[in-house]
Chain A
């Protein structure tokens, strides 16, 4: 059978008309005729293997949907993510690759079609397995396994570009018309830029992709740790020259008194002020993270102290007892009181860390110490709309890290 290139290209043209923001990526795909591939499949070098029989049997409108689907695998880097997932979990075998292919298809298909683009027959959808929509491949992978429900999906094969497993029809990195890694990044970057620069109602999934493709969100642990470390090592904290002891080098310079550089381990005070809306596990892990960093920076366990307001006492007390962290005690239900009590302790803390859900008044003046706020975002449902009390956000002098 001869490949009907006219139909194939007409479908691509239709795809670029209804999804103009994907045009650069669609045009960058190089179609390769192959009788071994069941439908259409991509490899990681941006070649698109096409079965002539599939093209003949599929209407142009649906073929356009398949074009968009295949290019989405490449834009979303499903092969790289599949490889990383497999390496992290130690997964091998074609069954796992099929599972990745299905999960990747779920990620694409839940918002790819409609709005002028026809849904190809046999396209899988997360609702077929009663899974929620709008999640990522990695999330779906943890939620299903191959079984009777996935039987109908077993013929799926979007190629090595979708799951990272090599296919017999792949031309490999040395074959003609492949894109190098840098060229692939450049195409993806151009598409991402086009999407983020374009106002209007693009699908949420693509907007999120464009934001995160080249700036993946960082885990809050890293951000909180970096903020606390930066506060603990900022100028004036913990480290200074002192004449209290002779310098180590003094022996080399008889007759001269040199100041020694002394590091006084920074004291970290943690104020916990949350209502019941923050789960104990979240609060506990944030507290443990802060105290671990505080100790690593300070060196001794009694350099970290915790003050909790009453609502959080249930988590803070046992944790502090188990970890040997001194508890300053209950600080009332107002963050201003908490600040006052922490600043009244002697010696004064060098760094103040506040773990809060933001439903609190803040001190009007900066406390004179570097302050890091770990903010638990409060679910919208808890906001009491008819009350006149509107909590203000954390003040500008604090470094805010959103947790969770």
Chain B
């Protein structure tokens, strides 16, 4: 008769024996990118949804040892150092000794520091953590650059416990909302956990990635200087991501890393909104979208081989930009090229998009310019416009 505990050990071993399957996971991808970019990350998520498991997975894949420190059970001195008196304090001063986990991290030279339960830490501890997160200093010890910092916090539910994150501390983190995907949980409990493919940085395109990120951020901020610094008005929002010169620099770094890794827009969206907040983040993404539209001058230079975007709203934006470019520098060759583009747009997509640009372009005609032959081929757009006008008249 085998002993119960031996059988239990067998059962536990069998339960732990699960398979994995490849499956994209955008939040883990975002976390990996932010950690790779050496920015402190703050995961917001309900207790028990696998933040720690994700951290273990990340530490494994990056090959970093994981050190977990629960912020809420520590005193401020655990992060700012303990005073230790030597033989002659007046001569040697009083050094602030770091706790053992910091010493071990510093000796290893690399590692992943996980600060759990940040939002339930009292304000004094949060203030002490500020220095650790920003300057990587624990007492007199400076953590080596190979140490990456990830923190986790439980979103304050309607219950009245926990503290708001102070605005200066919140402004130093990449905030990532951590949620569970019910499909993943159900398949995982069925025995198959996902194995996400982590983003890899492409070593060949680094300068281009930096140039792209700089162009995106500087382009947006020179058009919208009001976005550079906006301290939120309510305490709840101050504990989240908000735009400041510091977070814009973080956004720039994240875009450069995201571009170098070729990540999806979804991941980039999570990261950018996690540093500068939803509104400014969406504006930045919108300006990225605009940067990816074809350049109107390039289209006008080679209208016959032009590739117009498939999506209707983007196509309309491009056609508007082309007409605006012709308006700025009206020349006959450019005007003719624009007609060729409009015909191409009509042949490859819905006709209603072409109507407004065509009307505007026709108004730009100068007297000695002959009507181009292509205008015949726009008949489809003219019909659509006439039918639509009829609908307006019959109201």
Contact = CB atoms under 8 A, between A and B. Distances in A.
Interface of A: 5-7, 9-14, 16-18, 23-25, 27-31, 59-61, 63-64, 116, 118, 177, 179-183, 185-187, 189-190, 193, 214-215, 218, 221-223, 225-227, 229-230, 233, 239, 248-249, 252-253, 255-256, 258, 261, 263, 289, 292-293, 295-297
Nearest to A61: B391
Contacts of A30: 311-312
A229 B283 CA distance: 32
A9 B77 contact: no
Given A9-B352, A28-B311, A186 B394 contact: no
B113 interface: no
A285 to B, nearest CB: 12
B352 A229 contact: no
A14 B388 contact: yes
11 contacts: A10-B387, A13-B385, A28-B312, A60-B388, A61-B391, A118-B395, A186-B282, A229-B164, A233-B123, A253-B85, A289-B160
Interface of B: 75-77, 82-85, 122-124, 156, 158-161, 163-164, 234-236, 239, 264-266, 268-269, 278-279, 282-283, 285-286, 289, 310-313, 315-317, 350-353, 355, 380, 383-385, 387-392, 394-395
B23 to A, nearest CB: 14
Contacts of A14: 388-389, 391-392
A256 B83 contact: yes
B133 to A, nearest CB: 19
A61 B278 CA distance: 37
A10 B391 contact: yes
A214 B277 CA distance: 10
Contacts of B269: 182, 185
B387 A6 contact: yes
Residue in A185, A223, A292, A295 whose Cβ sees the most chain B Cβ within 10 Å: A185
Given A9-B352, A10-B391, A59-B394, 17 more contacts: A5-B350, A10-B383, A12-B352, A13-B352, A24-B313, A27-B313, A28-B313, A63-B391, A182-B264, A186-B289, A187-B313, A215-B278, A222-B156, A249-B83, A256-B85, A289-B160, A293-B160
B35 to A, nearest CB: 22
B158 A222 contact: yes
B164 A10 contact: no
A59 B393 CA distance: 13
A249 B77 contact: yes
A258 to B, nearest CB: 7
B83 A183 contact: no
Given A60-B391, A252-B82, A261-B76, A25 B313 contact: yes
Most A Cβ at <10 Å: residue of B85, B123, B269, B283: B123
B312 A64 contact: no
A340 B362 CA distance: 75
A256 to B, nearest CB: 6
Contacts, number: 158
Contacts of A295: 160
A225 B83 CA distance: 37
A209 B8 CA distance: 57
Contacts of B313: 24-25, 27-28, 187, 190
B85 A255 contact: yes
A90 to B, nearest CB: 14
Given A12-B352, A30-B312, A64 B391 contact: yes
A162 to B, nearest CB: 20
Give the top 10 A-B pairs by smallest Cβ distance, nearest first.
Answer: A10-B387, A27-B312, A226-B235, A13-B352, A28-B313, A14-B388, A60-B391, A296-B160, A61-B391, A9-B352
A227 B239 CA distance: 12
A222 B312 contact: no
Contact of A233 (B84, B163, B236, B394): B163
A74 B353 CA distance: 20
Contacts of A29: 312
A6 B380 contact: yes
Nearest to A254: B85
Most chain A CB neighbours (cut-off 10 Å) among B264, B380, B388: B388
Contact of A221 (B158, B311, B352): B158
B395 A229 contact: no
Contact of B234 (A59, A226, A289): A226
User: Most B CB atoms within 10 A — which of A13, A25, A29, A263?
Assistant: A13
A253 B83 contact: yes
Contact of A182 (B77, B159, B164, B266): B266
Considering residues B123, B285, B312, B391, which has the most beta carbons from chain A within 10 angstroms of its beta carbon? Answer: B391
B384 A9 contact: yes
Contacts of B84: 252-253
A226 B392 CA distance: 52
A59 B394 CA distance: 10
A252 B82 CA distance: 10
B236 A13 contact: no
A64 to B, nearest CB: 6
A14 B385 CA distance: 8
Contacts of B350: 5, 9, 12, 31
A16 B352 contact: yes
B124 A261 contact: yes
A296 B159 CA distance: 9
Nearest to B312: A27
A190 B286 contact: yes
Contacts of A183: 265, 311
Given A226-B234, A292-B160, A177 B391 contact: no
Contacts of B317: 24
